[in-house]
Amino acid sequence: MDYQAVLEEVAAFAKPLVGRGQVADYIPALAGVDINRFGMAVADVDGGVYGIGDWERPFSVQSISKAFSLALVLAEGGGKIWERVGTEPSGNPFNSLVQLEYENGIPRNPFINAGALVVTDRLQTLTGDASTTMLEFLRAESGNPDVSFDPAVAASETEHGDRNAALAHFMASYGNLDNPVPTVLEHYFWQCSIEMSCRDLARAGTFLARHGLRADGSRLLPRREAKQVNAVMLTCGTYDAAGDFAYRVGLPGKSGVGGGIVAVIPGRCALCVWSPGLDTRGNSVAGVAALDHFTTLTGWSVF
């Protein structure tokens, strides 16, 4: 596969859509991001990395971090997390309070905000420092020791985090958090503030393409649990647009409101695309189109 040629064709296809949508201005630190950026990278299971556009420019990973925190919880503590969070699509916005009330404080899946807070709480219990554990993992898997938090983004999310605090307190009232709410929120906001490039994220995501094997060849997850992470990414990874994403792209994927999307082709590669303009459901307009075109050109999907 000539990845570079495919990426060039994908970038040309996506170019008219770059700049469409709206940046995540409800997080003030992200309001000033240049909406006209576009980058894309592919990291194959043999260690090759290919990219185009702004593929080496760091951006805020935001909810993409949720896929990595889930994997780390499964690696550290096995499948007990599924007693506290479900595996079903939500059909509601990612920060909705509605379902929690009639489902007794159990979030629908680990990728809506409520579910991610439960996963962060579990990672904090297992490691004693959830956000730093994730940062160290991402540095190792990406091969980039300079991956770091963005304090300005973390502070901005903390200052405007009332909805997440409400979700956390509501779940705590049902006994679904083990750590103090402020501790869980702090680590959640810090992990969302991590900055990485498309190159970094594609490389970091290849353990899911290698069925649970890390970059150094050691096993992070049993093959069965790597399959589970990919499955939940496919059905729940792009907020309440997961059905449309599966229909158009046909890959496990996790998006973030920073404009990034990580996608996985098991046995082949991991991809990351970044373009900050978001649609009404919080996914990159140009990014989804680029992944759609990539799978169309290559014929690669999980279907």
Which residues are known catalytic residues? 63, 66, 188, 239, 257
Q: Which amino acid is at 82?
A: W
| Half-sphere exposure for 149 (CA within 13 Å, toward CB) | 20
Are 183 and 165 within 8 A, CB to CB? no
Alpha-carbon gap, residue 71 to 107, rounded angstroms: 17
Contact yes or no for 135/149 (Cβ under 8 A): yes
